[in-house]
């Protein structure tokens, strides 16, 4: 007769992960994959908003300084702007490090209610940096 597990204990079946004990303050233990999935669901849709805000700052500068800003539509400048757009998304990824760290702590519930502040402040900071960059990039 095979050994049986006591009621409520994790199963010892092959290929099946044992249940994790609850962590303090959350009532459940979540895996890194679950935290990462939640972070992706939160941050990735907002990346579009982030990029639209930065694109609107660039567009405002180009329109405000037209026709002098027409030089930015040349091939090399367009490639440079594309490179800068890619580079602007690297700091956006820093939110993942913070999000994953805080989600795995006991501060998970308040963090989920207030992480929009990190998004808002980070987007505003990036917009200000883009503004000052564009002041130097668009000819007077």
For 86-138, the pLDDT digits (tens) are 999 999 999 999 999 998 888 988 988 999 999 999 999 999 999 999 888 77
Q: Provide the residue range defining the domain that includes 38.
A: 32-137
Residue 101, in any domain of the structure: yes
Residue 119, in any domain of the structure: yes
Cα distances (Å, whole numbers) of residue 7 to 19, 21, 114: 13, 15, 40
Residue 121, in any domain of the structure: yes
Residue 103, in any domain of the structure: yes
pLDDT for 47 equals: 96
Its pTM surpasses 0.85: no
Q: What is the pLDDT of residues 1-49, one digit of tens each?
A: 555 555 554 544 444 444 444 444 444 567 889 999 999 999 999 999 9
Number of helices (H), then strands (E), in the chain: 4, 0
Burial of 47 (0-12, 13-18, 19+ CB in 10 A): middle
Cα distances (Å, whole numbers) of residue 81 to 39, 54, 88, 107: 28, 11, 10, 39
Counted domains in the chain: 1
Residue 25, in any domain of the structure: no
């Amino acid at each position: 007769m095979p050994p049986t597990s006591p009621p409520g204990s994790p199963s010892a079946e092959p290929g099946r992960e044992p249940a994790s004990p609850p962590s303090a303050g959350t009532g459940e233990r979540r895996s890194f994959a679950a935290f990462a999935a939640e972070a992706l669901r939160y941050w990735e849709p907002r990346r579009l908003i982030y990029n639209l805000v930065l694109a609107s700052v660039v567009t405002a500068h180009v329109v405000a300084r037209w026709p002098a800003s027409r030089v930015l539509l040349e091939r090399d400048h367009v490639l440079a702007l594309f490179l800068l757009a890619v580079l602007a998304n690297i700091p956006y990824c820093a939110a993942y490090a913070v999000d994953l760290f805080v989600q795995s702590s006991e501060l998970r519930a308040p963090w989920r209610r207030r992480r929009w502040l990190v998004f808002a402040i980070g987007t505003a900071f990036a917009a200000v940096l883009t503004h000052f960059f564009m002041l130097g990039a668009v000819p007077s």
